């Protein structure tokens, strides 16, 4: 289900959840959990952290349900909450590194290499490329990473991403182009 019909179902579920029907919110979560997981997973680069952040995002959505505008789609609202959770996660990680002097988990050489087996060389090569891509994405500055995530991995239009980030649609377009260029350069090296 897509478009207005999906938005209508989501708005109805949100209204029922706001009225106290927990099963309606559970249904709403199930409808959007895969999209949020993929979005967050790409941002943080760690499956376990992504699961935790998805749960945090849904808790925040539940607590902020009374602020949801039923005339707008649920998905961008949830994506904005998820983006805020990712930003919080990134800040917490930076603070921990500062106080504990830990090396960044994005530092090359800290990733455990995929097991190599001659029979699965193609899979190993694919995993290595994905790791390089994840590392390259992690190395992007937030000003480039966030528009890239919202548009490419989050499915937002440039206008939706611009509204979420508080910048112009043209700025989103420019930043996405720069992010893709930097990723291309990183993968070419």
Three-state secondary-structure class, residue 115: coil
Percentages (nearest 5) of helix, strand, coil residues in the chain: 80, 0, 20
pLDDT value of residue 115:
43
Closest CA to 35 of 65, 69, 61, 4: 61
pTM recorded for the entire structure = 0.57
pLDDT digits 0-9 by tens, 48-80: 889 999 999 999 999 998 888 888 888 888 988
pLDDT at residue 177, rounded to an integer: 92
Residues whose CB falls within 8 Å of the CB of residue 59, separated by 6 or more in sequence, listed in order: none
Contact 175, 147 (CB under 8 A): yes
The correct CATH number of 1-102 out of 3.40.50.720, 3.30.420.40, 1.10.260.40, 1.10.1740.10 is 1.10.1740.10
Please, what sign has the CA dihedral across residues 87, 64, 155, 143?
Answer: negative
% of the chain with per-residue pLDDT over 70:
78
The yes-or-no verdict on residue 168 having pLDDT over 90 is: yes
């Amino acid at each position: 289900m897509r478009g207005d019909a999906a938005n209508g179902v989501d708005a109805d579920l949100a209204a029922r959840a706001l009225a106290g029907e927990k099963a309606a919110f559970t249904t709403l979560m199930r409808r959007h959990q895969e999209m949020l997981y993929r979005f967050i997973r790409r941002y943080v680069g760690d499956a376990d952290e992504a699961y935790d952040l998805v749960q945090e995002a849904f808790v925040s959505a539940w607590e902020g349900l009374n602020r949801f505008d039923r005339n707008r789609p649920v998905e961008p609202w949830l994506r904005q909450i998820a983006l805020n959770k990712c930003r919080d996660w990134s800040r917490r990680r930076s603070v921990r590194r500062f106080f504990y002097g830990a090396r960044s988990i994005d530092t090359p050489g800290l990733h455990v290499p995929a097991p190599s087996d001659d029979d699965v060389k193609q899979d190993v090569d694919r995993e290595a490329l994905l790791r390089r891509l994840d590392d390259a994405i992690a190395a992007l500055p937030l000003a480039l990473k966030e528009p890239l995530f919202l548009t490419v991995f989050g499915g937002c239009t440039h206008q939706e991403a611009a509204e979420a980030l508080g910048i112009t649609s043209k700025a989103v377009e420019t930043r996405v182009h720069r992010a893709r260029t930097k990723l291309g350069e990183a993968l070419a090296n």
